[in-house]
Structure 1
Amino acid sequence: MPANRGLPEPGPAQFFARRAAYAWFVVGTVCIGAFVGQVDASIVQLAMPSFEDAFDAPLDAVSRVAVAYVLAFAAVLPAFARLAEIGGRKTLYLCGFALFGLFSALCGLAPSLPLLIAFRVLQGIGGSMLGANSVVILVAAAGPARRGKALGIMAAAQAVGLSLGPALGGVLLATLGWRSIFWVTVPFALVGAALGWLIVPKTTSFAKDRRFDALGTTLLIPALVALLMTIAEWRAWGPSAPLIVCAAAGPILLGLFIWREGKAPAPLIDLRLFQSAAFSAGCVGVLVSYAMLYGMFFAMSFALIRGYHDPPFAAGLRLTVVPVALGLVAPFGGTFADKRPRLVMAAGMAVCLASALALPALLTGTPESLIGVMAALAAYGVGLGLYIAPNNSATIGAAPADKSGVAGGLLNLLRVFGAGVGVASASTALGWGLHAATGAGARTTDASEAALLSAVGGVLAMLAGFGAIGAAAALVRGKPKRAAGKPEPAPVAAPIRRDA
């Protein structure tokens, strides 16, 4: 299909396109978005206590600042991925940077909590435009021979962003206040948009079938919203009409979406992937592992700032131990898992489970206990490092070769939705724990240190339950055998010629 049948796209600047290293310029540009997305995700978790203070709001209200972003991101991701296949990727990618930067700035200017949440929704939509295109642009530019190295560089950028977020957030919160944590991502968005305009290649390959599943989209978005709102607002809403509507509508709409996708000529999600038990179990693992990562960030932010009275900078440094341990161990986890993937993944989740169960006893609120707390957090990161990379690799490997791109997009959706599940469920569990300990509303500023840390212990027990689910998913999967099929064609651009 001719390239001019899609959205108008600017071509790359010849200064870059004629360079032998052009493919790596594209990889570097994509990594900016990967980096800033992880910085934003991790930095906001640390700011939850600050939002409570700034807006004099209860726990369930401030948790929506984090949930709103990931919910919007996940809900519209499949739609943007399909639109990019039909109309081209570069314009949507550039719009994603622009919207992310614009609404990041507006988040920092928000005069009220409802407006902040609204801007986070719009920021999440911009982030989804980036997420729907980034991996495909990177893989197409690098070509098959350099794909693994390019993906490894992107993973490193994400790990750096995830590790830097808590420490950077602590500095900003301590010196400039909560608004600065949103403004800090604006320069990266501007640079990413400018470099994307100059470097990212025009789309040269489009979907042969240009039909868009509008009905599937209108079913999936409210289904994901209803499911996550049920988890996030379970305690706050109680047995009320809104909760009953969400709890009933979520499964019904999701069931209708599955029915629709089975009949749609051009579905948003290819449900045939789930015919593989290994792929289905891997998807469960993706969801729970990211729920565990972000649930831990959420819970321990309150434990360190409210329970130990750490200043934000110190709390951020302590939280950094989780992603740093994860990033250091992940490459070795992938290597060990080549021979015994189920054993390595199950062992990783066992370490996470043991760490989550040990932490409540260590959270005494005394300075002497922080050494044990840090050791348990480091072990938790090690466990996730042994699980996440091997699980992602094995799950992609369980998909047919010609569906690897579709499978990767689905895993990205589950990763983001899992982060939302982690924050939402941690917020609900923390609220329940505070109510049980104090008999008062779920506002951490009103709780004693002992009550707060006891409530965090309940969140950690829930995360241990997630770990058990992840371990079970690793053990029940069979050895993945990729179905026969031609490798999926690069849907963005042909591999870059080095003599161009």
Structure 2
Amino acid sequence: MKHWGKNVRGRLSSYSWYPWLVFFSVTTGTFMVNVDSSILNVALPVLGKTFEAPPHMVQWVITGYLLVITSILPVIGRLSDLKGRKYFFVSGVGLFTIGSVLTAFSPTLLWMVLFRIVQGVGGGMIMGNVMSIVADTFPRGKRGRPLGIIGSIVAAGTIAGPALGGMLIAAWGWRSIFWINVPIGLISVAASSILLAPPIRKGEAAEEGDAAQFDFIGGVVFFAAVTSLLLLISNGYQWGWMSGPGLLMLGIAAGGWGGFIWREWSTDNPLIDLSLFGNLRFTIGNITGFLSFILMMLPSILLPLFLDHVRHISISNIGLIMSVQAIAIIISSPLSGWVADRYGNAWPSIAGLSAAAAALGLMSRFGGGTSVMEVVLTLGLFGTGMGFFQSPNNVAVLESVPSSKTGLTGSLMATIRNFGRVTGVSLTVLLFQVGSAGQSSAAGYREGITFVFLIGLAIAVAAILLVTVGVGSAAGGRYQREVPDA
């Protein structure tokens, strides 16, 4: 089988379209992971009823998944650099597929969260390698198009998630949303096993040197810091902020982040190069990017609950409504890129955040009399704003570092993106509990939603001010200027 795969790969590699074959074999995994990150949003009301659990418990089905991906991404990226990407990618797709089967059989909410963590490990192994595999497969000068298409595939997966989830749940129940991953995963494993070239074998001494270069201590401390912080945000309201568990998680989080920063500054081979944050534009771009992904999770978590508990709309229709945000992002992202090329990255970013802020203000006024069309239009405005912000901001961050460090920067941006998403889920649930005062009535849901979206509006305004500071700090106002190699 091994030699057969090698022969097939050797024959196909002579064709000009071979890199695109590799591209589609690995991006099926990316599509699957992103579908799974959004498909559960519309399932939250159903899962709450099935397992008789409140929102702050059910949200761990999403939080646990994103938390694991965020915690292991830097580790996976570094290990894949040292040991080869094929092994980690193929293993990741296989593990994700197995996790999907296990999750579909979940007897309780606790088992479901545990199996979702298995999925998260596989998802992190996939996400940590796709961009690099594609970059390694295509020659220099021909990487821009495939790397750009990956962004569309991510958005397509995000779009498909809510709509597909709503239809599957309505037809076959919530367990069906995990079975859909199995055929996709099997195809990706088979294709990537054959098409991806194995890593170049190294001598034992070289492998020992590689192991010495990996910052195991930094990886463990990073995982502990992220996990404890998210546990505190997610459970502090129930525990009590000054309770024993709350103070314990606070201490671990504070010590973990302090220890991680010290470790990364003191080691010769850091997991994350913190010196990049000495660039103000880089720092502001990543902070605002982090805040934007927090904001994107607010309507994703709250509006399905609002549409179900307050407006009493069917799950299938909720899925279709929630897909509007992702569709708006796909449409607005290319337009924002064109505008940014002509006028710079800063002003499209500010315009996008302003539109998102306006949409959050409108969402804070949602109530029992809110029509579906109002929800659709507001979601469209919010998605358009996010799309206008994301592309220019990503370019601004990448162009603020030397081109020799764009690979490292891309990996760091992926980590920050996922950390923003998982923080957004936990923060949304926490603020909703505070705003609704624990009420499960329609009135309680309305009060909680209003409170959360007003906080979101404040976060959006803060992000706008940060981008404005970045504009003023850029030399000559050229916020998009590339920093040359040292």
> How big is the shift at 1:453?
2.1
Shift of 1:46: 1.3
Alpha-carbon separation, structure 2, partners of 1:19 and 1:453: 58
Structure 1: 5+ residue stretches without partners: 1-9, 439-446, 487-500
Deviation at 1:466, TM superposition (A): 2.5
2:351 is aligned, of 313, 328, 347, to 347
Residues 106 and 119, structure 1, Cα contact 8 Å, conserved in 2: yes
Matched-pair contact (CA < 8 Å) for 2:399–2:483: no
8 Å Cα contact 2:401-2:484 kept in structure 1 = no
Amino acid at match of 2:424: G
Q: CA deviation at 1:16?
A: 2.6
Q: Deviations over 1:164-196 (max 9, x none)?
A: 111101011112111111111121111111111
Aligned to 2:403: 401
Q: How does 1:484-495 map to 2 (within 5 A)?
A: 484-485=484-485
Alignment correspondent of 1:6: none
Which one of 468, 473, 484 corresponds to residue 475 of structure 1?
Answer: 468
1:322 aligns with 2:315: no
Quote how far apart the aligned CAs of 1:63 are: 0.6
- CA apart distance, 1:480: 4.6
The answer for the alignment partner of 1:411 in structure 2 is 413
Tell me the CA shift for residue 464 of structure 1. 1.6
User: Which residue is 1:379 aligned to?
Assistant: 381
1:392 Cα deviation from its structure 2 partner: 1.0
Distance (whole Å) between structure 2 residues aligned to residue 324 and residue 303 of structure 1:
21
Query: Is residue 99 of structure 2 the alignment partner of residue 96 of structure 1?
Result: no
Matched ranges for 1:84-483 at <5 A: 84-204=80-200, 210=210, 211-239=213-241, 240-338=243-341, 339-361=343-365, 363-366=366-369, 369-435=371-437, 438=439, 447-477=440-470, 478=474, 479-483=479-483
Q: Distance in 1 between the 2:371 and 2:347 partners?
A: 32
Over residues 204-223 of structure 1, what are the superposed CA-to-partner deviations in whole Å (9 max), with x where a residue is unaligned?
A: 59999622111111211000
Q: 1:143 Cα shift?
A: 2.1
How many residue pairs get aligned? The number is 466
> 2:348–2:388: 8 Å Cα contact kept in structure 1?
yes
What is the SS of the residue equivalent to 1:364? Answer: coil
Work out whether residues 48 and 58 of structure 2, in 8 Å CA contact, stay in contact via their aligned partners in 1: yes
| 2:51 is the counterpart of 1:43 | no
Match of 2:15 among 7, 16, 19: 19
| Counterpart in the other structure of 1:57 | 53
Q: Which amino acid aligns with 2:425?
A: V
* CA offset digits 1:286-311 (Å, max 9, x no partner): 21111211222001110111111111
- Which TM-score applies when normalising by structure 2? 0.92
CA RMSD of aligned residues (A): 1.8
Supply the distance in 1 between the matched residues of 2:104 and 2:452 (Cα, whole angstroms). Answer: 29
Give the letter aligned to residue 344 of structure 1. P
Identity %: 29
Q: Post-superposition shift, 1:15?
A: 4.0
Higher relative contact order (CA 8 A, sep 6+): 1
SS in 2 for 1:220: helix
Task: Name the CA distance, whole Å, in 2 between partners of 1:465 and 1:250.
Answer: 25
Task: Report the Cα distance in structure 2 between the residues aligned to 1:351 and 1:289, rounded to whole angstroms.
Answer: 12
Q: CA deviation at 1:433?
A: 2.0
Following the alignment from structure 1 to structure 2, what is the Cα–Cα distance between the partners of residues 22 and 299? 44
Letter in 2 for 1:248: G
